[in-house]
Structure 1
Amino acid sequence: MSEDSRDENELPKRGQAAVADLISALERVDGQLATREQRVADYVKANIDSISTMTIAELAGAADVSTPTVIRFCRSLGCDGFKEFKLRLAQNLAVSLQYIQADVSEEPATVEHALDHVLGAIYTTANVMRKQLNPERLEEAKEAIIGSRQLLVAGIGGGSSMLAQEAANRFFRLGIVSTAVNDSYIIQMRSATLRPEDTLLLFSSSGETDAIVGAAKVASAYGAKTISISKPYTRLSQTVSIPIEVDLPEDPDIFKPTASRHAYLAILDALAMSVAYETKDATTENLRRIRSSLTAYHGRTGPQPLGD
């Protein structure tokens, strides 16, 4: 496809970009380009906010080079041409500005101050979550989990992977066969083995992760029950049979870990607790066996978290 025939709003397919971070690429090639290409690079770095509105002729004139030089410069940075370069740069700036222009105090936060900040964010986020939850969806999720032959839990990324693993840890204690996965290929394969008596529980902070949405579609096609804990109005929430939806705020402090994972964890714990009460006879015996095995293993008999 030629430079002129490429759709002005077209980008390479997801996962096929030649360069992911043009801002870093500009720094990496600094001093290594041909003289005229370096002029373009210098102008772009000095006027990075305005490049997306310029034509190739305008950039060439501003940098005092020819338009072919601009195209060579774009290709030196891994882009097919100027249109792709502009779009990639605009996309990169959109996600990078919160870091480039971050309002970060020069004074390091004390641990006590950091603790207050983290706890405050958790309280705020948990309160927002509580007001948004649909109790009927929670009940549906509880019943689906209770009636499951097996529970497959999936999440990709730091927070979602942790939540998936924690869900498997919660539910196996209650006598439900539970497995956590966080590999995109394994998720697809495991989802394809599910049956109508099985349940797939999915965690996703965005609700748009391809592997997670794909797993929901595969599991649904084979009749399995599907539950998501994620944002509303997303591909995932529209695919699963039981969407538990929360749209949670995030703190603008780029150094503070996300508080939403604590809210998701509270939802998970509430589900596990409600399942335990609904199946208390079987659950009590499972918990007794687990405690007995741990006591035999380490010899401690006092109150402790159960197997955590």
Structure 2
Amino acid sequence: MPRSRATPKTPDPSPATATLLQRIEAARDELRPSEQQAADYVLQHPNEVIDLSFAELATRAGVSQPTIARFCNALGFSGLREFKLRLAKSLATGLPYIHHDVNAQDSSAEVGAKVFDRAIAALVTVRNHLDPSSLTRAVEALCTARRIEFYGVGNSGIVAMDAQHKFFRLGVPTAALSDTHVQAMSASLLEPGDVLVAISGSGRTRDVIRSVEIGREAGATAIGLTVPGSPLARACDISLNVDVPEDPDVYAPMTSRLAHLAVLDVLAVSVALARGPELVAQLRRSKAVLQEKRTPES
């Protein structure tokens, strides 16, 4: 007897809530093994699929043409033509986020495409979900800050250093701290009017959360760049949500790092603009000093 088949559990097909690639990934485990093979090929080569015929797609995916037809039907499409039209539209939205495993058989070009796709998708996702009101509150707090400190551990500690490099040029005393003991001690010395920015890809690093609590007890305003609803997000006065799932692929770089860097760029540029023309002259002087350290153009 043929095995019973459950209807694939797919997200809302509206482009506002999910791309077609996300739908395919969500439905994959409910598909037949041969259809899963077709799904895997589409997920790994979405841009190529748009230009392939029925026979070409079946050959490259290593399945039969009827399997391709069943795969399209399982996702709610009448056939391959409708599926490819929807795939092209989905890719055009700029939201290609999907998990692509890097493996030892990949060429350098394939590795590059997967890493870039993952990074671009993560940035677009964060851009589309960044809360404008929280962003405004964070910029206001940073604009009036007497002192700004950036806290992060491990990978996030490197991001904190980059943030300090951005903000010290704005004429505000800044520090980047990655040692958790130093973080706690420094947080205890903060005062009302100071701002601490805590960065964490998981939002569950105990020492960073505790430093935020200490800083707030001292009167400082805490801004978190972290996962929404996480312990760190709840501990901060203002939370800028950066919800980027980290891939289990051991080869892949951490995409949350790129998202955190981008959000910090947004904050730095916003603060610079808000501080007005007098800052422009200061930034120009700083840039002029750097010219002295460069060799002349040939």
Q: Which TM-score tier does this pair reach, normalised by the shorter chain?
A: 0.5 to 0.7
Query: Is contact 2:102–2:114 with CA below 8 Å preserved after alignment?
Result: no
Partner of 1:119: 116
For 2:201, the aligned partner's letter is: S
Aligned equivalent of 2:184, options 185, 188, 191: 188
Aligned equivalent of 1:289, options 278, 285, 298: 285
What are the equivalent positions in structure 2 for 1:51-70 lying under 5 Å apart?
none
Query: Is contact 2:102–2:111 with CA below 8 Å preserved after alignment?
Result: no
Please list the CA deviations of residues 146-199 of structure 1 after superposition, one character each: whole Å capped at 9, or x if unmatched: 1011101010012x0111001101111111211101001000011111000110
Partner of 2:150: 153
Please list the CA deviations of residues 213-234 of structure 1 after superposition, one character each: whole Å capped at 9, or x if unmatched: 0111001001101100001112
3-state DSSP class of the match of 2:170? coil
For 1:245, the aligned partner's letter is: N
3-state DSSP class of the match of 1:297? coil
Q: CA deviation at 1:111?
A: 2.5
The answer as to 2:224 corresponding to 1:224 is no
> For the residues of structure 2 that align with 1:294 and 1:161, how far apart are their CA atoms?
26
Length-normalised TM-score, structure 2:
0.63
Q: Considering only CA atoms, is the larger Rg found in Structure 1 or Structure 2?
A: 1
The answer as to 2:129 corresponding to 1:132 is yes
What are the equivalent positions in structure 2 for 1:200-215 lying under 5 Å apart?
200-215=196-211
Q: CA deviation at 1:200?
A: 0.3
Q: Aligned residues: percent identity?
A: 31
> For the residues of structure 1 that align with 2:122 and 2:151, how far apart are their CA atoms?
23
For 2:142, the aligned partner's letter is: I
Q: How many residues align?
A: 198
CA separation of 1:188 and 1:300: change in aligned 2, threshold 3 A: farther
Query: Is contact 1:207–1:237 with CA below 8 Å preserved after alignment?
Result: yes
Q: CA deviation at 1:267?
A: 0.7
Q: CA deviation at 1:113?
A: 1.8
**Structure 2 residue runs without a partner (length 5+):** 1-100
Q: CA deviation at 1:104?
A: 6.8
**Cα RMSD for the two superposed structures:** 1.8
> For the residues of structure 2 that align with 1:207 and 1:290, how far apart are their CA atoms?
35
Q: CA deviation at 1:299?
A: 5.3
Partner of 1:275: 271
**Structure 1 residue runs without a partner (length 5+):** 1-102, 303-308
Aligned equivalent of 1:243, options 233, 239, 242: 239
Query: Is contact 1:154–1:161 with CA below 8 Å preserved after alignment?
Result: yes
Length-normalised TM-score, structure 1:
0.61
Q: CA deviation at 1:261?
A: 1.2
Query: Is contact 2:190–2:220 with CA below 8 Å preserved after alignment?
Result: yes
> For the residues of structure 2 that align with 1:233 and 1:104, how far apart are their CA atoms?
30
CA separation of 1:270 and 1:301: change in aligned 2, threshold 3 A: farther
The answer as to 2:166 corresponding to 1:177 is no
> For the residues of structure 2 that align with 1:104 and 1:164, how far apart are their CA atoms?
28
Partner of 1:163: 159
